[in-house]
Amino acid sequence: FSLVNYLITGGAGFIGSNLAAEVVKRGGKVSLVDDLSMGKEENIIHLNKKRVTFYKKSITDHDFMTNLLIKEHFDYIILLGAVASVANSVRMPYETHEVNQEANINILETIRKFGLNVKKLLFASSAAVYGNNPQQPKKEGSAIEPGTPYAIDKFASERYALTYGELYQIPTVATRFFNVYGPRQNPDSPYSGVLSIIFDCLENNKQFKLFGDGSQTRDFTYVKDVVNAVLLLLYDSKAVNSVYNVATGKSVSLKEVIATFEKILNKQLEIEYLPERIGDVKHSSANISRLMAMGFRPDYDIVAGLNLYINAGV
Ligand code: UD2
């Protein structure tokens, strides 16, 4: 009897640590690779040590990754490791490329070369691949207009994963996450998820800088829904060689979100209004019928998600 074995790159990050907790809860064991550039050890410290192995390593360390993959038998591989900041990708396009694309192809190549028997590999892509395509809501078949190094590498890695799947019979799937929020999202950068910034401002009585008038809309997706979608796609053998939007299917404005936060916390957010951020899209909404056809239903609308987030503690 052996436990189902998972590998999560970016495992100490926001989504990775939430996924790791769920996998452990469901009885699996998991290896987490993270260089802690964005992730934090405290995100995973509470997890059962007998089931979790943490490697403080960069996924760009190809020798390390190759050896790890050969040594361990991973049933499921989830590629979340990335330079998550679009702004950083613009500042450091090549360094981003090494993390967001080359590191992923090295993992795929190792699986191919050594004929590793993986039940499913999931690559986490992003709504960023749609770029400035004005069509709403975004479907997986909508035009791709990646406008930043981040988006280009996400799209390339997505295609590599799916193409390796087709060419070399490695079961792969890709997801395009929309604006994910929830516990352990790091609010420290101005390009962090806006909800983590708003929460931080409300908790610590800081002024929130609002870019625009608050009428911009996003499909804010609670991290538990993302974790559920990821696990559903990993376990369903029909979910192969395809990409799935992961979102709630319902967008709300920043103004509405702020009002919901204020109501739950019974506190007013101090706002400084600034011009719209360059490169921002005004509206973002997702069509999730492909994911729903696999049986997914979002459990958390914005009110339910924010309530859980605010009361989560860690
Ligand atoms: C999201 C992704 C990004 C990329 C992009 C593709 C996150 C964190 N970012 O960017 O990686 O995939 O989608 O379209 O998921 N805002 C403020 N004040 C702040 C911070 C943000 O007003 O301090 C506004 C911002 O101008 C934007 C909205 O809030 O209108 C959402 O910003 P975001 O950075 O959380 O997410 P987004 O959709 O720009």
Q: Is 179 in the pocket of ligand 1 (CB under 6 A)?
A: yes
> In the predicted model, what is the mean pLDDT of the chain?
96
Q: Is 297 in the pocket of ligand 1 (CB under 6 A)?
A: no
pLDDT for 281 equals 85
Q: Is 221 in the pocket of ligand 1 (CB under 6 A)?
A: no
pLDDT at 204 over 70: yes
Which atom of ligand 1 approaches the CA of 197 most closely? Answer: 23
Produce one character per residue of 92-129: b if its CB has 16 or more CB atoms within 10 Å, e if not: eeeebbbbbbbbbbbbbebbeeeebebebbbbbbbbbb
The residue whose CA is least distant from atom 39 of ligand 1 is 280
For the segment 51-68, what is each residue's pLDDT rounded down to a tens digit? 999 999 999 999 999 999
For the segment 171-180, what is each residue's pLDDT rounded down to a tens digit? 999 999 999 9
pLDDT for 313 equals 64
pLDDT for 189 equals 82
Q: Is 188 in the pocket of ligand 1 (CB under 6 A)?
A: no
Confidence of residue 190 (pLDDT cuts 50, 70, 90): confident
pTM (two decimals): 0.97
pLDDT for 188 equals 87
The token pair at 73 is 């038998």
Report the alpha-carbon angle 266-267-273, nearest 5: 140
For the segment 265-307, what is each residue's pLDDT rounded down to a tens digit? 999 999 999 999 887 889 999 999 999 999 999 999 999 999 9
Kindly report the number of other CB atoms within 10 A of residue 175's CB atom: 23
Estimate to the nearest angstrom the gap between the alpha carbon of 141 and the chain centroid. Answer: 20
Domains and CATH numbers, the chain: 5-179+220-246 (3.40.50.720), 181-219+250-311 (3.90.25.10)
Q: How close is the Cα of 156 to the center of ligand 1, in Å?
A: 22
Q: Which of 132, 179, 269, 309 for a ligand 1 pocket mutation test, highest count of atoms within 8 Å of Cβ?
A: 179
For the segment 118-145, what is each residue's pLDDT rounded down to a tens digit? 999 999 999 999 998 889 999 999 999 9
pLDDT at 314 over 60: no
